[in-house]
Structure 1
């Protein structure tokens, strides 16, 4: 009986992987990690993983494609200490490497950045070729 239960559990783990997992890093000409992100279960975008960004930022084109509407605005301080005002919106879901967060606050700006509004409740492990998000 125990062996049958063990085999069943192993089969479930194979068919239903854990919620978090590695995301492949695409570096291109930059050392900045870029990873593929899925919005609303079906729209994929390559984004920069930015551990210093408090909010995930999508571009105007992404906002248009995802059909998000601004719900407010906020002032953000960039890495060069410059302050900019950006519209805020909410996307239904963001998923990376099996980690999924729903109803995510995003800013609408110029550069697609995956920030802490997505991974703030996850442990983030950045390796050479993959990024892992663990709850």
Structure 2
């Protein structure tokens, strides 16, 4: 596999074999306009779309900071078939994440870990995860925060691994961030709509 297609298949195949913390069921469905929706309750899916909804498992961090329930629209950019969003790590480091609903955990590159002064020589828990190219090991580290579109989660675990060859891409934004929100992907307007649960 090579090029963007190969990376896209790898990110879709990213399923972590280690489980840390409790898992929550997330339902994914697509409406007639092609907008992808995520919800934690079947009652939120119109009846005509329920049969085609798919169930995903996600491990999440502690509950996010309390704030009013409002929808935040985050612009995304396309890189071939991939969707990327801007983020801020630990309130200081800019990041460019591929949005990957197939990844249980968010990942960052080794270069980003160094920018955040994370000492990768320390004894961190090791995750084993399956990619299209085989099983890969990655240390699991804790970030003070990840912020996307003004929405911040604190004390969130991320895996450190160079998933994407382009240095402009920080890593993958996975379900341990995304599952804390109701998510709509508006392909027509290139927006990732997030609403706190």
Q: TM-score range by the shorter chain?
A: 0.7 to 0.9
- Within a 5 Å distance, the mapping from 1:71-110 to structure 2 comes to 71-78=124-131, 80=132, 82-110=134-162
User: Which structure 2 residues correspond to residues 18-57 of structure 1 after superposition, within 5 A?
Assistant: 21-28=72-79, 30-57=80-107
Deviation at 1:77, TM superposition (A): 1.5
The question of whether the paired residues in 2 share the 8 Å contact of 1:58 and 1:113 is answered with yes
Deviations 1:37-68 (A, max 9, x none): 11111211111000000000000000000112
Query: Residue 173 of structure 2: which of 111, 114, 135 is its match?
Result: 114
Structure 1: give runs of 5+ residues left out of the alignment: 1-16
Structure number with higher helix proportion:
1
Aligned CA RMSD, in angstroms, stands at 2.0
CA distance in 2, matches of 1:119, 1:84: 23
Task: Spell out structure 1 runs of 4+ moving beyond 6 A.
Answer: none
Q: Deviations over 1:49-91 (max 9, x none)?
A: 000000000000000001124522110122x272111111011
Which residue does the alignment assign to 2:16?
Answer: none
- Whether contact under 8 Å (2:77, 2:83) holds in the other structure is yes
The alpha-carbon deviation at position 127 of structure 1 amounts to 1.2
Give 5+ residue unaligned stretches, structure 2: 1-67, 164-170
The number of residue pairs the alignment matches comes to 118
